């Protein structure tokens, strides 16, 4: 297998010289703790006061990490990805305030996403977050009741039924349209309620093909035994199971809550433990490929190579629809584009939504890239290498 993630010519072939220089300057700014910490708050304040900065944001931070403000506006980005052998996963990244009106609005938008992805090769998957269509505290209360064998309150039960009807309607719509659908993972104290309804719907809709995928956060302890249990459950039940594997996104929040409430931190103690479990999960899914389909959502080069090697050693076609790789739009192009160029199934999460409402998402991307040793340092090294290759520096 001749797969390398060091080929910057392939990784950035889709970027003009001007785009490349702009990306370099943007990732440089993530080295400023002040800008990363206070930039989003100041930006939000400026937008609230009506200051004319929307255009600047849209051409810089928003353009790097988002497709557009609407589905239609995002299509050129999806088309460019597709022309390079990469699918787009439309991600409605507006974070509501937990009101019935916002849940209804998000539900309507997610229906549009699923329909948009129907029969369009540019969109191999759709995705949604449960807290976009259901009350967070209700999900926490239902999770607590599930864990403790307790009854939920009438109010929680009512809210749960509203949430459940939206969830099941999205799954049914995806099934009827043949659209593969990811259910994103969230905090551990609401995840059980999400898992319960997700696996129930898998049993209904993953009969002939894998339509519904649950997201597994491998920075959590005991995920491998949980996956084994769910795989066996699917095998006995006669349906297929879909897993999207990620490392996790709520580490600080999880640790803080565990310390505050005095329970054991559900997150692994070290990055190595997380990496080991992630790679073990890849192998587990591969070994059970008769019933399991996976999407390896990772910016980790080693994990990407492990899955590629598994396919090679098992003599599985690189474009076998049971195996996908995914990264976030605007990040880790060296992984996405080199995998795609080698014939693997690759998709990018393509967030969209009104600029002001997508700011929380953009803030997290800035924080994620803020460490020089982390993502931004890697991006800068790769972009620098390509700038030198093009003789632009």
pLDDT at 196: 97
pLDDT of residue 372: 43
| pLDDT for res 83 | 98
The pLDDT score that the predictor gives to residue 41 is 65
- Delineate the domains of the chain, giving CATH numbers in brackets: 68-366 (3.20.20.220)
Which residues, in sequence order, are CB contacts of 262 under 8 Å at separation 6+?
none
Cα three-residue angle 178-182-187, rounded to 5 degrees = 160
Q: How far is CA 204 from CA 214, 225, 239, 240, 244, in A?
A: 14, 23, 8, 10, 19
In the prediction, which pLDDT does 1 show?
A: 66
Cβ burial of 110 (10 Å; 0-12, 13-18, 19+) is buried
Tens digit of each residue's pLDDT, the chain (393 residues): 689 999 999 999 999 999 999 999 988 888 777 666 666 666 766 667 676 778 888 888 889 999 999 999 999 999 999 999 999 999 998 876 678 899 999 999 999 999 999 989 999 999 999 999 999 999 999 999 999 999 999 999 999 999 999 999 999 999 999 999 999 999 999 999 999 999 999 999 999 999 999 999 999 999 999 999 999 999 999 999 999 999 998 899 999 999 999 999 999 999 999 999 999 999 999 999 999 999 999 999 999 999 999 999 999 999 999 999 999 999 999 999 999 999 999 999 999 999 888 888 887 777 766 554 567 788 999 999 999 999 988
Euclidean distance between CA atoms 372 and 381, whole angstroms: 10
> From the CB of residue 249, how many other CB atoms can be counted at a distance below 10 Å?
16
pLDDT at residue number 127: 97
CA distance 110 to 267: 30
């Amino acid at each position: 297998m001749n797969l390398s993630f060091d080929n910057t010519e392939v990784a950035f072939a889709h970027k003009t010289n001007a785009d490349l220089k702009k990306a370099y300057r943007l990732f440089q700014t993530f080295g400023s703790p002040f800008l990363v910490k206070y930039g989003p708050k100041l930006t939000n304040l400026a937008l609230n006061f009506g200051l004319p900065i929307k255009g600047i944001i849209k051409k810089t931070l928003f353009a790097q990490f988002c497709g557009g403000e609407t589905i239609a506006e995002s299509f050129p980005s999806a088309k460019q990805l597709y022309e390079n052998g990469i699918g787009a996963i439309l991600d409605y990244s507006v974070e509501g305030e937990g009101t019935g009106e916002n849940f209804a609005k998000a539900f309507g938008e997610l229906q549009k996403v699923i329909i948009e992805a129907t029969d369009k090769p540019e969109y191999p998957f759709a995705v949604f977050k449960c807290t976009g269509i259901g009350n967070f505290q209700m999900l926490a209360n239902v999770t607590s009741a599930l864990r403790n064998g307790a009854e939920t309150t009438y109010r929680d039960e009512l809210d749960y039924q509203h949430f459940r009807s939206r969830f099941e309607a999205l799954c049914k719509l995806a099934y009827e349209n043949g659209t593969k659908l990811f259910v994103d993972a969230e905090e551990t104290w609401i995840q059980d309620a999400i898992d319960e309804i997700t696996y129930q719907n898998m049993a209904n809709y993953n009969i002939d093909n894998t339509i519904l995928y649950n997201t597994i956060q491998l920075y959590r302890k005991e995920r491998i035994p949980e996956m084994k249990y769910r795989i066996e459950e699917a095998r006995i039940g006669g349906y297929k199971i879909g897993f999207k594997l990620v490392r996790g996104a709520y580490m600080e929040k999880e640790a803080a809550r565990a310390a505050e409430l005095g329970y054991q931190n559900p997150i692994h103690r070290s990055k190595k433990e997380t990496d080991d479990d992630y790679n073990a999960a890849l192998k587990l899914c591969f070994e059970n490929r008769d019933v399991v389909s996976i999407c390896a959502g990772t910016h980790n080069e080693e994990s990407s190579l492990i899955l590629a090697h598994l396919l090679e050693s098992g003599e599985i076609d690189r474009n076998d629809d049971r195996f996908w790789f995914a990264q976030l739009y605007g990040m880790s192009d060296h992984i996405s584009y080199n995998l795609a160029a080698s014939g693997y199934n690759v998709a990018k999460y393509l967030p969209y939504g009104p600029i002001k409402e997508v700011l929380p998402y953009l803030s997290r991307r800035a924080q994620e890239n803020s460490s020089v040793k982390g993502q931004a340092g890697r991006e800068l090294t790769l972009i620098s290498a390509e700038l030198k290759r093009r003789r632009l520096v």
